């Protein structure tokens, strides 16, 4: 079955939402839990019935969708730091897609983490310190050494905080999940470069449907 622009733009919005959360933690030391939860939620949705369900309830990636629209239109300004994160995550997504064994190790690790810290049903545990630490360890063990390394810049005071480090690494793992999903749905670099009008239309349609999100 073919995939449509709506599905692809949801995955791309998930990627933007991750980058947004990482920036807030790195620069302000805080994060909107409601924005972070859908990102982490996506890591555990291996057999989701459809693309929106990967991120949770309707409108779950509205923040990421707004960020995507801002990046496409340049209004108010394009965020070059966000662009750098997006490029790195997309590249790592391609790298992992080409390395089934590494992808399998990460998948098994996520399953074990889910069983240990959430038992598959406790939504509140998604962003618990224990869950984020376990996901961060998975990132460190399997992804952090991939080249080019994803360098997170921000306020050293916040970046040295262990809890913030766990949040950022868990989010980066979720960003790679969104990057792989984008590719699985037929998303390509060419679509980002030359298909912006269609992506913009799909993004605006999404926000219209979920404007109260």
Q: Give yes or no for a contact between 150 and 81, defined as CB atoms under 8 angstroms apart.
A: no
The predicted pLDDT at position 26 comes to: 98
The predicted pLDDT at position 3 comes to: 67
Instruction: Supply the mean pLDDT for the chain.
Output: 92
SS3 assignment for the chain = CCCCHHHHHHHHHHHHHHHHHHHHHHHHCCCCHHHHHHHHHHCCCCCCCCHHHHHCCCCCCHHHHHHHHHHHHCCCCCCHHHHHHHHHHHHHHHHHHCCHHHHHHHHHHHHHHHHHHCCCCCHHHHHCHHHHHHHHHHHHHHCCCCCCCCCCCCCHHHHCCHHHHHHHHHHHHHHHHHHHHHHHCCCCHHHHHHCHHHHHHHHHHHHHHCCCC
Angle at 32 between CA 31 and CA 35, to 5 degrees: 115
Q: What is the mean pLDDT of residues 67-78?
A: 90
**Domain locations along the chain:** 5-209
Q: Minimal CA–CA distance to 94: which of 157, 33, 148, 29?
A: 148
Looking at domain 5-209, its CATH class is mainly alpha
Percent with pLDDT over 70 in the chain: 94
Q: How confident is the model at residue 193 (pLDDT cuts 50, 70, 90)?
A: confident
The predicted pLDDT at position 86 comes to: 96
The predicted pLDDT at position 42 comes to: 97
Res. 1: pLDDT tops 50: no
Spatial distance between the Cα atoms of 122 and 147, rounded to a whole number of angstroms: 35
Res. 125: pLDDT tops 90: no
The predicted pLDDT at position 213 comes to: 44
Lowest-confidence pick of 6-15, 28-37, 43-52, 110-119: 110-119
Q: What is the mean pLDDT of residues 132-154?
A: 94
Res. 120: pLDDT tops 90: no
The predicted pLDDT at position 117 comes to: 76
Q: Give yes or no for a contact between 203 and 69, defined as CB atoms under 8 angstroms apart.
A: yes
Per-residue tokens: 38: 């859908």
Per-residue tokens: 118: 């959430």
Spatial distance between the Cα atoms of 52 and 42, rounded to a whole number of angstroms: 10
The predicted pLDDT at position 75 comes to: 83
Q: What is the mean pLDDT of residues 113-131?
A: 77
pLDDT tens for 155-178 read 999 999 999 999 999 999 999 999
Res. 66: pLDDT tops 60: yes
Q: What is the mean pLDDT of residues 45-50?
A: 88
């Amino acid at each position: 079955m073919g995939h449509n622009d709506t599905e692809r733009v949801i995955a791309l919005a998930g990627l933007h939402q991750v980058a947004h959360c990482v920036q807030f933690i790195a620069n302000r030391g805080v994060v909107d839990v409601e924005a972070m939860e859908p990102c982490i939620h996506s890591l555990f949705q291996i057999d989701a019935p459809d693309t929106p369900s990967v991120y949770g309830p309707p409108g779950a990636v509205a923040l990421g969708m707004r960020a995507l629209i801002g990046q496409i239109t340049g209004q108010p300004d394009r965020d070059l730091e966000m662009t750098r994160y997006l490029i790195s995550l997309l590249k790592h997504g391609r790298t992992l897609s080409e390395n089934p064994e590494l992808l399998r190790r990460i998948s098994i690790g996520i399953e074990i983490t889910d069983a240990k810290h959430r038992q598959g049903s406790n939504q509140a545990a998604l962003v618990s310190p224990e869950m984020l630490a376990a996901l961060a360890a998975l990132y460190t063990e399997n992804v952090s050494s991939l080249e080019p390394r994803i360098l997170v810049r921000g306020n050293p005071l916040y970046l040295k905080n262990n809890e913030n480090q766990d949040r950022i690494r868990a989010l980066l793992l979720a960003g790679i999940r969104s990057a792989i999903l984008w590719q699985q749905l037929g998303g390509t670099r060419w679509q980002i470069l030359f298909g912006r009008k269609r992506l913009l239309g799909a993004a605006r349609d999404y926000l219209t449907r979920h404007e109260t999100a």
